[in-house]
Structure 1
């Protein structure tokens, strides 16, 4: 194993992951430094979830198979589908609420390893990093977006190389918006947009430990401390990553100043097909979770059999099934890619990404409709305590033949987390802009669809026969 693999044992347990979070990383939340991500109220719940996921990676089958599958290069359609089922097992642990579960970045590193020659002189670095990350069970995330235009200098400017020497490169500037960053072992950095001829210093791709000297994570306010049951467990946090002359050793450098390699990263490695496979699976699992919550809320309130509730639930079921079917189509249409490995059909995955940006907010609206006033007026955990003055009344008010008061209250708190509180609002915004502005991505999908259909597609069928409106 290369010396760049890191100090933690191979492979790690969840407990070892948690103990490693007290490594000197600089994490700032609401104006204060978080000493230990594993124990701080703002971050402890999410850290425990990731620890459990890493422990599952040691098992066989189900969620335990996620690690080997996420880091696998497929040779057959069956292996592509198996990778999808591993993504599904991971997503079902959180109901699809974790947009940056570790399998997401694992797919990107795997795509790079399968196309390592794209990186030219750094191909060996990419292959070694892929193997090390797999064997170490690294928790990875990325920071790829640039700060707003006009900030070209200093730490608030776009991340860039400021010098090179025999030991590596030194970078300065900011990357945003790194989801999961406080909990990650390492950050992957690469360009989000095409770079111009005068942006050679910004043509970088590398991996760096979150605890690297000079790197600070400025986080948004935590949603976990006073949040509901989902927020306490699944607030994966988002952060600005500020690099104050951070040194990146050459073994962790994958692109350094090469505009052509940087601008061709996505097409040259086919990484989009890998990443969108994982995110599309997560999208349908998340839609199914919202349907299950809405269905149970309708049953608990006694409205499940009413025509309005049935109509709303049917629409939500249709959203989930549409997204699931697109994944099935993408896996069934898998093909041998340009780099020799089997990849999903990109068109259904792009369609899922486009539709989910619109359908997820609609799914949240349906949960709001079904939950109705119960999302506003629901019992708190304290109301269930034996000493609570509200317990006796709420036990009668929220208890029905189909569900007890305690379970009904918990169900409403989960629904409120999804559809009413800041956690749910952040989830909806995340899905809305996951692949960029929805209108812009719809135009991109048109190009993908047109390329897949071919230039002669409009000349076939009823249009060619001069029939009525299509």
Structure 2
């Protein structure tokens, strides 16, 4: 059985996925999910391709079977580049439009596994549990996503300040079999499609809220777990909506209605400090940021390519102000590419021999991405302008009674009407569709509040290397000393 078949065989497993007030019993056949599942299936087919598969997989040391490279603990610069190449292939095939293909969560898990002996709570079982879970996840090739954030009920209150203490996810009771939890987590992107949910608090908890400081992993089909989806942005019309028909990952709130989490799946319990150490683990941070920046690069390349083709199609590429905007898109691409290269060139092994990309360039790229992407979409809007309205309601109309008129009035400077309309429909799906709005929102906030992430980079930066030279010059002033 190939990778695609193994993945599909696990989808209709009785999970409680809610859309439009109803439980979806057939994910594979449902129009809201079928296109994305098909896309994932095609990506998994690449792992079985004799030409591409070796660039996406490595041999499991336990089974000898090929498994996804996201699970590889890199022990050399070459292995780190192997992982990046694998991320490149999937991101290129999806134009950077799918952010939760499990490379992020798998990389987190791989980092925790590599750091397992220095992480965990007071019971001392973290290393054993996370190793067992990592090996099982790797060899079964589970798809996974994270559910980390508390629902936005009242952001001025701490979790313990609500009248209902289970507004945010917390432990209800402990049993012989495990813990029982109640509450909710958002935003679990890709939750309907995955095998596993990794659950823990994203923000640091005070010691007084230890019941909210728990880390665990569960199958998506766990009884008492409900995956509540937002409105679907998927489309069945592939010609008219080439992105929405393939790449709607779906975002969801995960509701826990007294769900039992077995003890072997409870990695940390009632320990805010241990949870925060996991969140800040340098290995997990570095390995998980690598695929996110690779994806960002391919997404910006996609936008730049569409911008260039739009301008050429309508004969606008000769105008200086359009060239300036297209140049800005190229600057975005090359900036992120340079930061990714810098992260690899500055890579080095940690004390345990795990090779890690340099985090500072990756963090810089992620922070820039929250501003680059909205600006890139704005540039496409400015280049296309009213041309986005100069499209028929469907491509099928080109074969109807008005076909000759469409061919005459909808053509471009360097393209016939069919080509121009297809390009502009693709561009509209990227900038103006419901999926497009979701992606702009995602790129602004997926790394967190941009104000906090920029401030965090400042606070964590080694600033003395910058300021030493300034003070050396300032103190030398008047004594005839200086750097020149």
Q: Shared fold (TM-score greater than 0.5)?
A: yes
Range that drifts further, 55-64 or 134-143: 55-64
Structure 1 residues 462 and 300, CA, compared in 2 at 3 Å: closer, same or farther?
farther
User: Where does residue 8 of structure 1 map in the other structure?
Assistant: none
User: Where does residue 205 of structure 2 map in the other structure?
Assistant: 195
Q: CA deviation at 1:17?
A: 2.0
Structure 1 residues 60 and 157, CA, compared in 2 at 3 Å: closer, same or farther?
farther
| Structure 2 Cα separation of the partners of residues 408 and 15 of structure 1 | 38
TM-score between both structures, scaled by the size of structure 1: 0.91
Tell me whether 1:130 sits opposite 2:157 in the alignment: no
Range that drifts further, 372-381 or 49-58: 372-381
Structure 1 residues 146 and 30, CA, compared in 2 at 3 Å: closer, same or farther?
same
Q: How do residues 130-279 of structure 1 correspond to structure 2 at under 5 angstroms?
A: 130-148=134-152, 149=155, 150=157, 152=162, 157-225=167-235, 228-268=241-281, 270-279=283-292
Give the unaligned 5+ runs of structure 1.
1-10
TM-score between both structures, scaled by the size of structure 2: 0.88
8 Å contact 2:398–2:406 — kept in the other structure?
no
Q: CA deviation at 1:266?
A: 2.5
Q: How do residues 301-450 of structure 1 correspond to structure 2 at under 5 angstroms?
A: 301-384=314-397, 386=399, 388-400=400-412, 402-448=414-460, 450=461
Q: Residue 386 of structure 2 aligns to a residue in which SS?
A: helix
| Structure 2 Cα separation of the partners of residues 360 and 146 of structure 1 | 26
Give the unaligned 5+ runs of structure 2.
58-67
Structure 1 residues 461 and 12, CA, compared in 2 at 3 Å: closer, same or farther?
farther
Structure 1 residues 252 and 188, CA, compared in 2 at 3 Å: closer, same or farther?
same
Q: CA deviation at 1:61?
A: 6.0
Q: Residue 25 of structure 2 aligns to a residue in which SS?
A: coil
Between structure 1 and structure 2, the one with the greater Rg is 2
Structure 1 residues 463 and 224, CA, compared in 2 at 3 Å: closer, same or farther?
farther
1:165-217 C-alpha deviation (Å, 9 max, x unpaired)? 22222111100011001111110111201111111112211111111100001
| Structure 2 Cα separation of the partners of residues 398 and 189 of structure 1 | 50
User: Where does residue 104 of structure 2 map in the other structure?
Assistant: 104
Tell me whether 1:464 sits opposite 2:454 in the alignment: no
| Structure 2 Cα separation of the partners of residues 53 and 69 of structure 1 | 14
| Structure 2 Cα separation of the partners of residues 153 and 407 of structure 1 | 59
| Structure 2 Cα separation of the partners of residues 351 and 159 of structure 1 | 32
